[in-house]
Amino acid sequence: MSSEESEFGIIGMAVMGQNLALNIEQSGYRVSVYNRTDSKTKDFKQKRASDRDIVATYELEEFISSLERPRKVLILVKAGKPVDMVIDQLLPLMEEGDIIIDGGNSHFQDTNRRVKKVEGEGLHYLGTGISGGEYGALHGPSIMPGGHREAYDEVSEILRSAAAQTPEGPTCKYLGPRSAGHYVKMVHNGIEYAVMQSIAEVYWAMKNLLDLSHEDMADRFEAWNQRLDAYLMEITVEILREEDEKTGRPLLEVILDTAKQKGTGKWTSQSALDLGVPVPTITAAVDARLLSARKDQRGRLDELYGELGNYETYEGFEDDLGKALYLSIVTAYAQGLDLLEEASEEYNYGLDIQDVAQIWKDGCIIRSDLLDPISESYSSEGLDTLLASEEFQDDYREAIPSLRKVVSALSKTDLICLALSASLNYFNSLTAERLPANMIQAQRDYFGAHTYQRVDEEGTFHTEWQDIKNV
């Protein structure tokens, strides 16, 4: 290679691209950068990258010819059409053996399509989930690569040196072929949705049912986080302690109660439904955001129905809230990992859940000390759900009564507990040897002759229900 050539290229100089460029350069690599809008590249080079070994380029041809071969190009543009547009522009300029890495939040099916297209041109494509937001991108994100194995080997040193570093190694490992990396990132985000919603519901219960200041609530979350050491709990503590400069009130009090979404939580639920995997806590979190967006309607209906229920708690409620939250969070991971196992089977990803746990251990939004016992659980042969693991059985036994009491107390009020009750019902369903699905079978057979199975005899059966009733 010429000493002038860069070892890595990044397209997209928004927050993620800029921070990853700085991070990768910091790890000792020369990086070329390009952005559709020139001014962003210029600004970046003049300010944040002024004393860095980062080459700013303003034409794609210039960008491509600045890279050593095989060229390694990381795309970090808005997910969706822009990724296709960039690929279309790159293909005529790149050569056999070159590697395109999509580091955005692409839908896994888009990644499958792009793998085919790019590999068809003799190039390699790595669908790579990156988590950790702008801070992670700069200081060490969690990186979830999937695609061509040899292509990954070409870039692994660079990606692993940019990832967060843990005592067990970097938070970047090859996950599997095609869209394996983007699938794992999607499920990461689904779990993220469920954990966030569980925290939000517990905050709301504390705020409305206990006479606690924001500082007191922050202290409670901080204490509960001793056990979890979770990023989302840490930021919750900081959010609760933040004061609004304008009003002097807690900042949270002046933030509008409607949550937006980019779609990765919804994709997780959609894919779970397609694969027949129940992920009710994740789906409840998506529903909660959809309901929150109906601000006007909520206001009108609030006037119509006013305050419902009584706002009484009981002794030990606060302690139960902490345990209920813990269990709902564990259950969110249980559902996400169950989905990953099923998807791995269906799509032949060959996922190793212990590798996934290592990648999520640091640098990402769902990082938590929980990933250690989760990894330990999946070292057991044949584990099919975290609920069955030795590491979590005692937790479930200890905290399920608390989750029941919390959901029951909240159900007597008009406060929401979508995620908490979904976690409870998931547990109740999965641990019930008998469910009322016998009624569903009978109904299906009644109106559609779909047949049913019996508890006392093998085979399928049908009853002429209408004759029985002489209708």
Q: Which residues are catalytic?
A: 185, 192
CA–CA separation, 106 and 146 (whole Å): 12
Q: Is the separation of the CB atoms in 71 and 118 below 8 Å?
A: no
Binding site for ligand NBP (CB under 6 A): 12-17, 35-37, 40, 76-79, 82, 85-86, 104-105, 130-131, 133-134
Q: Which of 118, 112, 124 is nearest to 153 (CA)?
A: 124
**Which C-beta is closer to ligand NBP: that of 77 or that of 285?**
77
**Which C-beta is closer to ligand NBP: that of 132 or that of 250?**
132
Given the structure tokens 């010819």, which residue do they identify? 65
Q: Is the separation of the CB atoms in 286 and 361 below 8 Å?
A: no
**Which C-beta is closer to ligand NBP: that of 85 or that of 440?**
85
Helix axes 295-305, 280-293, angle to 10 degrees: 90
CA–CA separation, 343 and 249 (whole Å): 46
281 Cβ neighbours under 8 A, 6+ residues apart? 194, 197, 198, 328, 331, 332, 335, 419, 422, 423, 426
Distances (CA, A) of 314 to 211, 287, 398, 412, 431: 13, 29, 18, 12, 27
User: Does residue 70 have a cis bond before it (omega within 30 degrees)?
Assistant: yes
Give min distance, CB of 154 to ligand NBP, in A.
22
**Which C-beta is closer to ligand NBP: that of 144 or that of 403?**
144
227 Cβ neighbours under 8 A, 6+ residues apart? 326, 369
Give min distance, CB of 260 to ligand NBP, in A.
13
Give min distance, CB of 197 to ligand NBP, in A.
19
Give min distance, CB of 342 to ligand NBP, in A.
24
Give min distance, CB of 362 to ligand NBP, in A.
15
Give min distance, CB of 15 to ligand NBP, in A.
4
Residue type, 25: E
**Which C-beta is closer to ligand NBP: that of 14 or that of 293?**
14
- The angle at the Cα of 450, spanning 447 to 455, to the nearest 5 degrees, equals 110
Residue type, 414: D
Q: Is the separation of the CB atoms in 63 and 34 below 8 Å?
A: yes
**Which C-beta is closer to ligand NBP: that of 131 or that of 421?**
131
Distances (CA, A) of 305 to 295, 300, 308, 309: 15, 9, 7, 11
Q: Give me the residue whose beta carbon is nearest to ligand NBP.
A: 104
**Which C-beta is closer to ligand NBP: that of 232 or that of 334?**
232
**Which C-beta is closer to ligand NBP: that of 133 or that of 373?**
133
Burial (Cβ within 10 Å: 0-12, 13-18, ≥19) of residue 161: middle
Give min distance, CB of 79 to ligand NBP, in A.
4
Q: Which of 287, 295, 249 is nearest to 266 (CA)?
A: 287
Give min distance, CB of 168 to ligand NBP, in A.
23
